[in-house]
Amino acid sequence: MQIISKNTRILYNPLLLREDPTFCFDIDLWWEKDAVVGSAEGRGTTWFVQTSTLTAALRHYRRGGLLGKLIFDSYFFTGWEKVRSIQEFNLLNYLRSKGIPVPRPLASRTIREGMIYRADLLVEKIENARNLVDVLLTTSLGAEKYRLIGILVRRLHDANVCHSDLNIHNILLDVTGKFWLIDFDKCGCRDGENWKISNLIRLLRSFRKELSKRQIKWQESDWQTLIQGYYLPN
């Protein structure tokens, strides 16, 4: 569903979000309700809040790099269909429709101010899950797990979705042994095939980078097993 005014667009799923969607992006209100249950630091602070239906992650879109130090959280407005929060909300719904394990989107908000906009997103928090960096710091994964990662990435690519930041921080493993993909900002559908190889190379670089930085429990032969999973017949 949508709430539309002249300068604001809110998309939300009424089955998942029972709170008033016009107020659910204000972290101060979640504090007043004693519903803030944690946080995570990255480009900015992601707040974990307890809604009436599930635990969710609230993220304000922020720029990175040198430009982010100057502009912080403003983006040039070139049309509602190109807004990052709306694109990510819709993409998550699309991936869910394909049966790909990603967080369920609860709501997105975009506020336009002239030629710029600011945006927020509220999505499901995957409970009892850790990213692969945290997992591999303490334990190695067996061959079957790497094959499952390969199969998951192949399913993403078969849906013609390129994860523009496919790395092992954005792959989660929950306590049931299920893998999840997160953080789909600036991601989207693509035609052709060449980008799929580039996407895999990005993932391989992330394994190698964390191995050199933190000595995660990973070796090159694990990548070959992952690739076997990727190329398994459907």
- CA-nearest of 53, 50, 48, 47 to 17 is 53
Note the helical H segments in 21-83: 27-32, 65-71
Annotated catalytic residue 165: yes
Cα(17)–Cα(183) distance, rounded to whole angstroms? 20
Residue 10's DSSP bridge partners are 3, 109
Cα(201)–Cα(181) distance, rounded to whole angstroms? 17
Catalytic residue among 73, 134, 165, 174: 165
Within the chain, what is the greatest distance between any pair of CA atoms?
Answer: 55
**Residue numbers annotated as active site:** 165
